Structure 1
Amino acid sequence: MSIGRIDLNLIKVFDAVHEDRNLLRAGKRLNLSQSAVSHALSRLREVVGDELFVRTARGMVPTARALAMADELRDALRRIEATLGVEPFDPGRSTRRFVIAANDHLTAVMVAELSRLMKTEAPGIDLVIRPSTRIDLAEQIDVGRIDLAVGIFAQVPQRLSSRTLMTQGESIVMRKAHPASRRRLALQDLARYPLVTVSVGGQEEGAVGGFILERGLARQAEMFDRHALEEALKAVGKAPRYRVTVPHSLAIPALLRGSDMLSIMPSSLARNLAAGGELLMREPPYPSTPSTFRAVWHSRNDHDPAHAWLQDSVARAAGRVA
C-alpha cells in the first residue's frame, strides 16, 4: 500500500464511524452528508482491502481489521492536530458532545455541578450520561463510546489514564423522626436497625471485595465500606441486617420514609438527600476507609485539547462538591 493513496480525511471519517457506529451521526459530526461518508468509507475499503464495517441492526459493526486499526489511527490524528494547531478547541464556541459514565449518586451531586459550570463556559456543548454500572464499562471506553467514566476504581489498566477528583468518607442517613435521631448513633444501632444499601453487583456478577473486575478495570460494586461495618460489629458480637439492597440511590429516600431503616452512603450523597428536609445525616460510630473518586479515560485521548478541557471541568465540578 502506498501512503500517497491515503487522504487524511478518510482517516477522520473512519474515526467518526468507529466511534458513532452510525453513518448519519458521523456525518453530522464532520459536516458531511451520509452519502459522502459512505463514499469515503468505500475509498478507504479499497485502499485497505478490508470491509472495515458491517451494517447490522445494531449499527455499523467494525471488523477485526478495523478494531486493530482504530486506536493507533485516533492517536495519530490527535497528535497531528496538536502538532499543527489545527482547529484549536474553544469551549465557548464548540458544539461537541461528550459521553460520561457515572452512577446516579455522582450524576446528582457532581454532573449537576458540571452542567451549571458548562452553562456559562460552554453553552453549545452537550452531555450524555451513561450508567457506569453497566457490565461492559471497560469495553465501552475501549471502543470510544464513553469519553470519561467517573467513580471509585480499585484498579486501572495501563491503556487507560486516570485523574483523582475527590476523596470523601461515609455518612448514615435516617428519617427525621427516627428513634435514634435525637442522639449520637451508637455501634449497637447498626445492628438494632436494619439497613438499606446500594449494590450494583455481588459475587454472582464476579464482585470480589466490593469491586467488579473487567478488562483490567476494577469498579466499585457497593456504595459503602461493608468490611469496616462488619468488622466493627463483629468486635461487639453483633452483625448487620441488610434488609433492602437496591441497585441505585434514587430509591433510598422513599425506603427510609416511614421506616426505621438506616442507610450508609458517601457523604456528598448524604448531604444532597438531607438538603430536601425529610432526612437527617449522621457520622458513623466506627472508622471506615475514605473513598477516592477518579475520572478514567482512554489514553488515546491524552493529546485531545477538547478532552483535556472535559477532564479539567469535571475536576473543578468535583472540587466544588468536595
Structure 2
Amino acid sequence: MSQFDHLDLDGHLLQLLLAVIEEGSVTRAAQRLGVTQSAVSHLLDKLRAITGDPLFVKSGRGIVPTAHAQLLAVRARALLDGLRSFSHACAFEPGQISQTVTIAANDLQRDLLLPSFLRYVRAQAPGLRLRVIRSGAPAPEMLREERCELIITPRPPEGTDILQKRLFTDSYRVFYDSAQREAPATLEDYLAADHVTVLYEPMRQLDIDDVLADRGIVRRFAAQVPGFGGIGPFLRGSRMIATLPGLLRAHMLRGLAVAPVPVECPDMPMYMVWHLRHHDDPMHRWLRQQLELVVAPSLAAAAEYMPAMA
C-alpha cells in the first residue's frame, strides 16, 4: 500500500499521466509538456509510489498503460476539469494566459486559418502557445480524452457531448496542370481522366468522393495520398486531375489551374468542434470567438491569391 499522502498529488502529475497515456512514449510526452525526459521519468516514479501501481508496461518499442492507469486517467480528466473551473472562476483576462492550446486540423484549414488566428490571439495573450495536430477523420475521443481543445473539420464527430458551429462553406473544384492538359469540359472528359485524391486513415475518403460514388460516378484513381499537401506533386507535370475544395488554390495548390466540376457537387462546410465540458469555460469561449473573428479576413486574404477559373 502507498505510504504517500493524497495531498502529494497535483495537477502537473495528473497532466503528466494523461500525456504519457496519449503519446504512448515518455520521450514524446516530455516534448509535449516542454520538459526533459528525465523529469518525466522522475515524476512517473513519484506517481507510481503514490498510486502503488506500475502504471505503464513495455509493449514492442513503446509502452502501454495498465488497467489501473486507464481508470486513473478517467478520474484525472475530471479532476483537471475541476481545477480549470476553479482557476477560471475569477474574471478572465487573456493577458494572463500562460499555456498551450491544441487544435486539430488538416492542412487546408490549418494553412487558411491558424497562422492568422495565432497572430491575433497572441496580440492579446502573449503567453498563449499553439500546438497543431492532424485531425485526419476526427473521432469524438480526440475531445473526450482532451488530446485537443478544438477540432476544425468538414465532418464533425458525432456525440451528445460534442458541440459544433459552422465557420464557412467552400465549393469543390477540379485542379489540373494547364501546361499538360485542358480542363475536363464534360462528364465524359472527367471520367476519362486519371484522378488523385485524399484517403485519410483508416480508409476514410473525402466527402465528395463518397457523394460521387453513391451517385454511381466511378472515377479511375491513379493515386491516393494522406493529405491535401501531397496532391500538388502528382498533378504538376501530369495529365491527372483532382476534385478538391477550391480554397486550396490560395495555398498549397497555388499555381495549378482550376475549373468547375462538370457534375453537380455539394458544398463543403467547415466547422469548429468542441466538447461540452468546455462550452461555458471563459477561456475556451474566448478562443472560439477569436477563431470566428479571423474567418472573414482569412477568406478575403485567400481570395486575393486565387486565380480565375478556366
- Contact 1:53/1:60 (<8 A) preserved: no
1:272 to 251, 258, 265: 251
Name which of 265, 274, 284 aligns with 2:261. 284
Equivalent residues in 2 for 1:1-322 (5 A)?
A: 10=9, 12-21=11-20, 45=50, 50-51=51-52, 54=55, 61=65, 63-83=69-89, 85=90, 88-133=91-136, 137-153=139-155, 155-181=157-183, 185-201=185-201, 205=202, 221-230=204-213, 234=217, 239-273=218-252, 276=254, 278-322=255-299
TM-score (norm 2): 0.73
The answer (yes or no) to whether the contact 1:156–1:162 under 8 Å persists in 2 is: no
Structure 1 residues 160, 10: CA separation in 2 closer, same or farther (over 3 Å shift)? farther
TM-score normalised by L of structure 1: 0.71
Can you list the C-alpha shifts for 1:56-91, whole angstroms capped at 9, x where unaligned?
5768946244133234323333333344x1xx5433
Task: Report the residue type matching 2:275 in the other structure.
Answer: H
Alignment length (residue pairs) = 280
Q: Residue 150 of structure 1 contacts residue 294 of structure 1 at CA under 8 Å; is this kept in 2?
A: yes
Quote the offset at 1:199 in angstroms.
1.2
Does the C-alpha gap of structure 1 residues 110 and 189 become closer, same or farther in structure 2, counting only changes over 3 Å?
Answer: farther
C-alpha separation in 2, matches of 1:103 and 1:93:
29
Cα deviation, residue 170, structure 1: 0.9
Report how far residue 151 of structure 1 moved.
0.9
Q: Do the aligned residues in 2 keep the contact of 1:92 with 1:124 (CA within 8 Å)? A: yes
Contact 1:13 1:41 in 2 (8 A): no
Summarize the Cα distance change of 1:112–1:315 in structure 2 as closer, same or farther, 3 Å threshold: same
Distance 1:40 1:77, change over 3 A: farther
RMSD of aligned Cα (Å):
3.6
Deviations, residues 140-171 of structure 1 (Å, cap 9, x unaligned): 43222322222122542123332322222211
Q: Summarize deviations over 1:248-290 as a string: whole Å, max 9, x none.
A: 111222111111111111121133345x3x3111221222122
Rounded Cα–Cα distance in structure 2 between residues aligned with 1:289 and 1:232: 12
Displacement of 1:228 after TM fit? Answer: 4.0
Q: 1:306 to 1:63 in 2, by over 3 A?
A: same
Aligned-partner residue type, residue 197 of structure 1: T
Contact 1:11 1:73 in 2 (8 A): no
- 8 Å CA contact 1:74–1:300 kept in 2: the answer is no
Q: Which residue identity does 1:92 align to in structure 2? A: G
Could you tell me which amino acid in structure 2 is paired with residue 289 of structure 1? Answer: P
Give the corresponding residue for 2:305.
Answer: none
CA separation in 2, counterparts of 1:302 and 1:292?
A: 21
Q: Structure 2 stretches of 5 or more lacking a match?
A: 21-25, 300-310
Deviations along 1:287-306, one digit per CA (max 9) or x if unpaired, are: 21222222223322234322
Determine if contact 2:48/2:55 at 8 Å carries over to the other structure. no
| Equivalent position amino acid for 1:222 in 2 | Q
Flag the 1:37–1:309 CA change in 2: closer, same or farther, 3 A: farther
Letter in 2 for 1:145: R
Q: Which moved more, 1:291-300 or 1:97-106?
A: 291-300
The structure showing larger relative contact order (alpha-carbon pairs under 8 Å, at least 6 residues apart) is: 1
